[in-house]
Amino acid sequence: MAFYYIYWHFQENNRMNWPIISYYFSWKTALVLIILSTFNWLLEILKWQNLVRSFKKISFLEASKQSLGSLTASIFTPNRIGEYGAKMLYFPKDEAKKVLFLNFINNSSQMLVTCFFGIFGLVISTLTIKSNNASSWFSFKLKTIHFFILIALIILSILMIKYRKIELYGFSLQKLIKKIKKVPSYLWRTNFQLAVMRYLLFSHQFYFLLVTFNCDINYSTALATIFIMYLLASIIPSIQFIDVAIKGSVALYLFSFIGIENTKVITITSLMWIFNLVIPVLIGVYFVLRFKPQKE
């Protein structure tokens, strides 16, 4: 199914602009992207290995099998929810709840980092947008959008704090917080450090492509827009294999305000999808095919 989707994407839903790629792209660019993507997934694998060691030591190779195999298995599930079940299959049944909770922490820490930098990007871009006769309406519109996003995030935070004691099917935010507090602090620190490093790495990978494709944009504006893009793309419910369409649409909307060509934006998001999702999924296929259920 993974192979078929990738084939379908390039045959029926081709968003790649090959003339632009052939003009700006080179083997050196491809090598840099491969290196950055490799480090991106090395950090994700280290995050998982770090969390699992709270109850069991696993090798880097075993953590790689679990991370990449579960990525492949979850590619067709909403918001990668299938990753939770896939990772549990690598452990005995009596450790299933621990694995489920640790995977929640793993994904939540990356989401918190995305929200932090996304809000930071909103503030920076709002302060640095300069209105002029040609773009005053767009500047006003963008600032208004940023304002409402910030208000929505603040309201959501207040509601979570206010209703933390309400239970739903035996679960509540208060119980979750108590459970999170039991996680050793050194695991939290390491996990957040790796999450920040990973986030900055793939954000700069996107910026590297903007520079490669000769986009006229300064560093601070580019990063602020990238941070906002990842924030908006993360809070939109989606299935992983259409993630490229979600990020592409959000990127098109945001980068249109600063005059970046649509074809370049679409090509960049597609290349990010290939190097950071397609290649890891293809590697994960190998681990899925060699998977053997954990014996009791």
pLDDT in tens, 130-145: 543 344 545 555 566 6
168, pLDDT greater than 50: no
174/80: higher pLDDT: 80
Read off the amino acid at residue 285: V
Residue given tokens 């509540």 in the structure block: 172
pLDDT at 164: 52
Please measure the distance between the N-terminal and C-terminal CA atoms of the chain and give it in whole angstroms.
Answer: 30
The whole-model pTM stands at 0.80
Asked if the structure places residue 2 within a domain, the reply is no
Asked if the structure places residue 9 within a domain, the reply is no
Asked if the structure places residue 8 within a domain, the reply is no
Asked if the structure places residue 143 within a domain, the reply is yes
pLDDT at 14: 54
pLDDT at 35: 95
Give the domain extent around 237. 37-289
205/150: higher pLDDT: 205
Asked if the structure places residue 171 within a domain, the reply is yes
Continuous H helices in 53-135: 60-73, 82-88, 96-128
Question: Mean pLDDT over all residues of the chain?
Answer: 79
42, pLDDT greater than 90: yes
DSSP state of 77: S
Element (H, E) at 266: helix 262-273
4, pLDDT greater than 70: no
24, pLDDT greater than 60: yes
pLDDT at 80: 74
Q: Mean pLDDT across the stretch 214-238?
A: 86
Asked if the structure places residue 3 within a domain, the reply is no
Percentage of the chain lying above the pLDDT 90 cut:
21
23, pLDDT greater than 70: yes
Total tally of structural domains belonging to the chain = 1
Residues 6 or more apart in contact with residue 91 via CB below 8 angstroms:
56, 98, 99, 294
Percentage of the chain lying above the pLDDT 70 cut:
71
Asked if the structure places residue 295 within a domain, the reply is no
DSSP state of 274: I
111/179: higher pLDDT: 111
Contact by Cβ (8 Å): 60, 49: yes
Q: Is 229 helix (H, G, I), strand (E, B) or coil?
A: helix
Asked if the structure places residue 294 within a domain, the reply is no
166, pLDDT greater than 60: no
Lowest mean pLDDT among 92-96, 111-115, 118-122, 291-295: 291-295
